[in-house]
């Protein structure tokens, strides 16, 4: 079975530009998570969805960040306008939630390495 | 709030040595879940193991073993007869049942296995 798919794998953009990161969760998984990984802060949960509905976005750093999940097989994380401090690796993960979101295991995508110049 | 501490920032061993990666956690919940993930140089995060707070039985999977001790709030990971391919950053993580699905990761331990 295919794992979590993220695109693009690498993104280089200039400050002020809009950036859209994409994620396809594992088929049948009801939970989708967006994480950011930086050297300074490690792995941070940004937002997660359950059945396409955002449940907790308290980790989203500021209003420049937004995430959507229009259907069960697709989610986007958008940064507008982007800033150099947004440079990081962004991971998407999904879990089946069969035994609850915390019981079940989150499987991660390969990540998108974002560089904002 | 939950917290995960991986005190070892970097570890370097020679191939075939055994190595233990430490993980200490803090939580007020009685029901919680502990995880280990591996992040090889290629960057992806690979799930290794999940353990719930009611299951203190140690786990062995090939060269990997995990020692969960609630008395010391530790969930240590041992690699026996390490190999170069084990070189990676290893993350310990904790999620609490009472917390809104917030899985907290430790800072990670970078393991380098030299030939």
User: Tens digits of per-residue pLDDT, B88-108?
Assistant: 999 999 988 655 456 889 999
Structure tokens at A74: 């697709």
B47 contacts in chain A (CB < 8 Å) = 105-108
User: For chain A, what is the mean pLDDT?
Assistant: 91
Mean pLDDT (whole number) for A49-66: 90
Q: Which residue of B has its CA nearest to A49?
A: B101
3-state secondary structure B10-56: EEEEECCCCEEECCEEECCCCCEEEEEEEECCCCCCEEEEEEECCCC
CB contact under 8 A, A103 and B37: no
Interface contact A105-B35, CB threshold 8 A: yes
Which of A56, A107, A109 has the CB atom closest to B47's CB atom? A107
DSSP designation for A25: P
Residues 6+ away with beta carbon under 8 Å from B60: B66
Q: Which of A102, A109, A111 to substitute to test the interface with B, most B CBs within 10 Å?
A: A102
| CA-based nearest distance A68→chain B, Å | 18
CB contact under 8 A, B103 and A106: yes
Do residue B44 and residue A103 have CB atoms under 8 angstroms apart?
Answer: no
Q: Where are the beta strands (DSSP E) in A15-60?
A: 19-24, 31-38, 42-50, 53-56
Q: B19: distance to nearest CA of chain A, Å? A: 23
- CB proximity B9 to A under 8 Å: no
Res. A1 pLDDT band, cuts 50 70 90: low
Neighbours of B106 (CB within 10 A): 25
Which tokens is A99 given?
Answer: 């035994």
DSSP symbols for A63-107? TTEEEEEEETTEEEEEESS--GGG-EEEEEEEE--TT-TTTSPPE
Cα distance between the two ends of chain A: 36
d(CA B61, CA A77): 36
Q: Average pLDDT in the B64-80 region?
A: 95
Cα torsion B10, B29, A104, B11 to 10°: value is 10
pLDDT single digits (tens) B2-53: 699 999 999 999 999 999 999 999 998 888 889 999 999 988 899 898 888 8
Calculate Rg over the CA atoms of chain A: 13
Mean pLDDT of all residues in A80-104: 84
Asked if A56's CB is within 8 angstroms of B100's CB, the reply is yes
A13-38 pLDDT per residue, tens? 999 999 999 999 999 998 999 999 99
Q: Which residue has the tokens 């280089």?
A: A12
């Amino acid at each position: 079975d295919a794992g979590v798919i993220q695109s693009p794998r690498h993104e280089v953009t200039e400050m002020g530009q809009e950036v859209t990161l994409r994620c396809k969760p594992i088929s049948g998984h009801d939970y989708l998570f967006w994480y950011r990984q930086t050297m300074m802060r490690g792995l941070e949960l940004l937002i997660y969805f359950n059945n396409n509905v955002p449940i907790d976005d308290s980790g989203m750093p500021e209003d420049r960040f937004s995430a959507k999940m229009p259907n069960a097989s697709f989610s986007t994380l958008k940064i507008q306008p982007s800033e150099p401090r947004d440079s990081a690796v962004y991971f998407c993960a999904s879990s089946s939630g069969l035994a609850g979101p915390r019981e079940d295991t989150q499987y991660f995508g390969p990540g998108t390495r974002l560089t904002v110049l | 709030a939950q917290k995960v501490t991986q005190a070892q920032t970097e570890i370097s061993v020679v191939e075939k040595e055994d190595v233990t990666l430490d993980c200490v956690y803090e939580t007020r919940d009685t029901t919680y879940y502990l995880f280990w993930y591996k992040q090889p140089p290629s960057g992806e995060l690979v799930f290794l193991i999940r353990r719930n707070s009611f299951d203190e039985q140690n786990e062995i999977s090939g060269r990997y073993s995990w020692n969960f001790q609630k008395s010391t709030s530790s969930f240590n990971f041992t690699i026996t007869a390490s190999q170069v391919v084990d070189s990676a950053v290893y993350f310990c993580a904790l999620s609490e049942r009472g917390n809104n699905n917030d899985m907290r990761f430790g800072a990670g331990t970078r393991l380098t296995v030299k030939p």
